[in-house]
Amino acid sequence: MNEKQKKDIRNHLIQILIGVLIIIPFFNEKSWLRFIALGGFLLIMFNIIWFVKNSEEIIYHFFPSKSIREEKPKFKDKIWGHISMILFFSGLIFLIFQMGNIENTIEETSFWKKYGLYGFSFSLFCLLILYKLKPSVFNESGRRYSVVFGFVLGLSFLTISTFSFINKKYAQTEITESEFIIDRKSTGGKKNNTHWIFININNSKKRFEIEQKLWNELNVGNRVLLRLQVGFFDYNFVTEIKPTANTS
């Protein structure tokens, strides 16, 4: 890695640190000062995008492979690059279809952490097996990059979405009902026709997407009734949200 590349990495890391230092004192501001925190966030995102864009080159310089690009890659090696992309897009599509179920899971944060870790660990195990059986797959920088990230993200997505599907598909039949107070309402904006309510559950603010008609009927401070079901893996999820007789 030459001096210019090292300087670029150092400068972008410094800018991320500056962005964090800007956000910290203005994070909870409600006045115009909140836009200063927004500026820090945008600075961080700009530099993270730079790292993502240049990630293959950065990884290559820290962990060089035998070649950057092979002139005549073997088909048996090349096919793993395609398999990794199939895994990635399959996992992404399945996860998109399961996002509604995951967002309606009461312990959503715990669910993401637990099964995300399972998926990440499983992907590393698969990559280790592949490296032992076909080490030549990792000889080219571009193919190595594609395979590693395709397996890590794809298998993580597939694991999370599969456990979400099973948790709801084989849930207990018993349904319980609990009342909660609406803490906040929000919409996705003019171009995004989504409507959310926010409820404090177990000392954590949880967001639920509801139909526009129901959203219009409810106000902050109103009570709503959540119908809850215990999933196969003991993760509670909401099956229905409706107003109560007492909405004051």
Of 83, 61, 63, the closest CA to residue 137 belongs to 83
Of 138, 140, 122, 121, the closest CA to residue 130 belongs to 138
What tens-digit pLDDT sequence spans the chain (248 residues)?
Answer: 667 778 888 899 999 999 999 888 887 776 777 788 888 889 999 988 888 888 888 777 777 777 877 778 888 888 999 999 999 999 999 999 999 899 999 999 899 999 999 999 999 999 999 999 999 999 888 899 999 999 999 999 999 999 999 999 999 999 888 888 888 888 876 656 788 888 988 777 888 888 888 888 888 888 888 999 999 999 999 998 888 755 54
Domain boundaries, the chain: 1-53, 71-169, 175-243
Helix (H, G, I), strand (E, B) or coil at 68: coil
Helix (H, G, I), strand (E, B) or coil at 179: strand
Residue tagged 């492979």 (tokens):
65
CA–CA dist 16, 9 (Å, integer): 11
DSSP code at position 104: T
CATH T-level fold of 175-243: OB fold (Dihydrolipoamide Acetyltransferase, E2P) (2.40.50)
